[in-house]
Amino acid sequence: MTFDTLLIANRGEIARRIIRTARAMGLRTVAVYVDADATAPYVTEADLAVHLETGYLDGAAIIDAARRAYAGAIHPGYGFLSENATFAADVAAAGLIFIGPSVDVLAQMGDKIRAKELARSAGVPVLPSSEDPERADEVGFPLMVKASAGGGGKGMRVVETAADLADAVAAARREAASGFGDDRVFLERYVAASRHIEIQVLGDQHGALVHLGERECSIQRRHQKLVEESPSPVVDVELRERMGTAALALARSMGYYSTGTVEFLVDDATKEFFFLEVNTRLQVEHPVTEEVTGIDLVREQIRIARGEHLTVSQEDVMVLGHAIEVRLCAEDAVAGFLPATGTIAAFETPHAPSVRWETGVQAGSVVSVSFDPMLAKVIAYARTRTEAASVLARALEGLHLGGVTTNRDFLVSTLRHPAFLAGDTTTAFIERHAPARVVEIDDDERQWLDAAVALWVQAENRREAAVLAELPSGWRNARLPDESLTVTRGGDTVALRYRSRRDGSFLVDGRHEAVVFECTPTLIDVSLAGRRACRRVTRVGDRVFLQSDRSTVEYVLEPRFTVPGREERAGGLHAPMPGVVLDVRVEVGQVVTKGATLVVLEAMKMEHHITAPRDGVVTDVYVTAGQQVENGATLLGFDDGGEGDA
């Protein structure tokens, strides 16, 4: 069962992650890519890349690519075909090795309903559930509608009352079909005050099986994880032993090998735990386990697939220190975490030895609606949980990032929140504690930033000057008004004034002395009123991205002469992101109440409901089901009787 070439049937950061370990093991790597990923970093990092005409769900095309590249094994990563038993069987039938558990295990655990039955028979506690929506009362409200064949938050809905059940089931079925090619769903009791705790298991093909402790993944939005850590701040030795024993009992009952994760829901009040599912693949959050145990899980997957024995016993497993991971996503936290799109103008990670960056993007990467909005996983390791949180927050603050809206500020606020630091991290964390979603820059920092951008722009203008470039900026042989620059910062128009002085310094806003120590196309080192800092700068067109102490601030340079453009749209409802219209639930003349769903969009494999901002009347309908719309496209005309624009 040996091979020297590995094909990675995935994309982005996980493809880069697998390439890194495979190369360290002396393996040749093969990537696959679609047109949208032609310039992605992982494509050129692999030894060879094969273009896919269809997509990452086309198993036959991926197997054909492996044959053409002389690969002996296929690593599926996570998502896409990673838990698809049919694909794994086809890989084996083609004479290739599937990096993962057996086809039988994939088939059993890929069906969440069957998995619950197996867990129950193995003595693992499970929540009340049913495949039949008609039996919702037996399950009890509130309940969760969940996709039978998937995970990652897709096809999941919390339902408070029976009146909302039919719509939730229909929406979950659509998302499940889109994300996994299987529209089956089931109902499960919903525990509001709970924690999402998972146990990492590792087994070989000779019967050896160990667990590597737990990860807590409770902080979520749209039922998708945002913050993960190991160990959990609330799991003690006794609870860890009970959950680890339960996870191993279930894994042993089905002859599990490879990496896998047994996920549990833990009641925060009683510390009772209930089986949720088994993920028969590498998890997005696997790095936190690697950091605290020192075990490379990708390496172990490959070794196990080659038939090798585990190199550790349960007694060998030691959890040292603390690791925290966050998912940096292209999304608008202020707008309810709606996915965002665009081109990444700036992306440069700060130097932080104890921080691990797992990313599939770079400056120039296009974030589209075709894939998950996660840009990077950022992981910090330290001796204590508090220190790990602080190191991770500081690394995020130092990331030079611009061009797309992200959840960076929200993640930093979460990591610094007193409730998080106290370990109060239930699945209701965001709703209960409402961490700030936008960083607030203090007045002193704002003054420094404004001065820095003005002086950087004047220096760039001097470098690009076609005539008299050797003269200092703003040189005059008579006293004239200050030079000025008009910019937009965070929606506010700001007029910046500065004057060059004979000693080389500047007078900013007529009162602050500024000294520029260094200024290049990518940085500026400036002191304003005694406050000195050296910061990263990126310019793309009329946009300048300047690194602050806690984030990256975008400035839009205003032209000297106003260029006529489209008028501001008002009086209608607009698409908050590019997507496909799934459903239009109103017609012209229909009276609607605040909060009613008017249009349903699909973007990044998730459904998003466009609701009435207030009571009103639909005056126009501009879209139909199946139509592709761009960000900001007008969907409906809406009249609220003069209460304000929609």
Whether the per-residue pLDDT at 416 is higher than 70: the answer is yes
Residue 111 pLDDT:
83
Count of beta carbons in the 10 Å neighbourhood of residue 78: 16
What domains does the chain contain, in order, with CATH numbers? Answer: 5-99 (3.40.50.20), 128-189 (3.30.1490.20), 196-433 (3.30.470.20), 443-557 (3.30.700.30), 572-639 (2.40.50.100)
Classify residue 502 by its DSSP letter: T
Question: What gap in Å lies between CA 631 and CA 342, rounded to an integer?
Answer: 10
Whether the per-residue pLDDT at 301 is higher than 60: the answer is yes
Task: Record the tokens describing residue 423, joined without a space.
Answer: 């370990």
158-164 mean pLDDT: 89
Which residues are within 8 A (CB) of 330 and not within 5 positions of it... i.e. 6 or more apart? 339, 340, 341, 342, 367, 373, 374, 375, 404, 405, 406
Q: In the chain, helix, strand, coil percent, each to 5?
A: 25, 35, 40
Question: What gap in Å lies between CA 429 and CA 420, rounded to an integer?
Answer: 8
Question: What gap in Å lies between CA 20 and CA 39, rounded to an integer?
Answer: 18
Cis preceding-peptide flag for 353 (omega within 30 of 0): no
- Three-state DSSP class for residue 288: helix
Question: What gap in Å lies between CA 603 and CA 1, rounded to an integer?
Answer: 41
| Best CA proximity match to 576, nearest among 396, 405, 353 | 405
Contacts 24+ apart (CB under 8 A), 636-643: 636/572, 636/573, 636/586, 636/598, 636/599, 637/571, 637/572, 638/571, 638/572, 638/573, 638/612, 638/613, 639/571, 640/613, 640/614, 640/615, 640/616, 641/615, 641/616, 641/617, 643/614, 643/616
CB 164 within 8 A of CB 140: no
The pLDDT tens digits of the residues spanning 304-346 come to 999 999 999 999 999 999 999 999 999 999 999 999 999 999 9
DSSP letters spanning 528-592: ETTEEEEEEEEEETTEEEEE-SSSEEEEEEPPSSPPP-PPPP-SEEE-SSSEEEEEE---TT-EE
The pLDDT tens digits of the residues spanning 465-513 come to 655 555 555 555 545 578 999 999 988 999 999 999 989 999 999 999 9
- Mean pLDDT check: name the lowest of 44-53, 129-138, 209-218, 545-554: 129-138
For residue 608, report the phi and psi dihedrals to the nearest 5 degrees. -135, 125
Classify residue 89 by its DSSP letter: H
Please tell me which residue, 169 or 16, carries the higher pLDDT value.
Answer: 16
Q: How confident is the model at residue 142 (pLDDT cuts 50, 70, 90)?
A: confident
- pTM tops 0.85, yes or no: no
Q: What is the mean pLDDT of the chain?
A: 90
Strand 73-75 with 5-8, pairing: parallel
CB 5 within 8 A of CB 27: yes
The pLDDT tens digits of the residues spanning 418-459 come to 999 999 999 999 999 999 999 989 999 999 999 999 999 999
| Best CA proximity match to 262, nearest among 215, 311, 229 | 215
Task: Record the tokens describing residue 577, joined without a space.
Answer: 């992101």
509-536 mean pLDDT: 96
Whether the per-residue pLDDT at 270 is higher than 90: the answer is no
- Mean pLDDT check: name the lowest of 53-62, 78-87, 151-160, 483-492: 151-160
Question: What gap in Å lies between CA 17 and CA 6, rounded to an integer?
Answer: 13
First to last CA, the chain: 62
350-368 mean pLDDT: 94
DSSP letters spanning 153-192: TTT-EEE-SGGGHHHHHHHHHHHHHHHHS---EEEEE--S
Whether the per-residue pLDDT at 219 is higher than 90: the answer is yes
Which residues are within 8 A (CB) of 587 and not within 5 positions of it... i.e. 6 or more apart? 618, 621
| Best CA proximity match to 30, nearest among 79, 70, 2 | 70
Which amino acid is residue 561, in one-letter code? F
Q: How confident is the model at residue 524 (pLDDT cuts 50, 70, 90)?
A: very high
Residue 571 pLDDT:
53
Residue 188 pLDDT:
83
Whether the per-residue pLDDT at 569 is higher than 80: the answer is no
Residue 611 pLDDT:
86
Question: What gap in Å lies between CA 470 and CA 468, rounded to an integer?
Answer: 5
Q: How confident is the model at residue 601 (pLDDT cuts 50, 70, 90)?
A: confident
Question: What gap in Å lies between CA 626 and CA 61, rounded to an integer?
Answer: 27
- Judging by beta carbons within 10 Å of its beta carbon (0-12, 13-18, 19+), is residue 152 exposed, middle or buried? buried
Residue 566 pLDDT:
39
Residue 556 pLDDT:
95
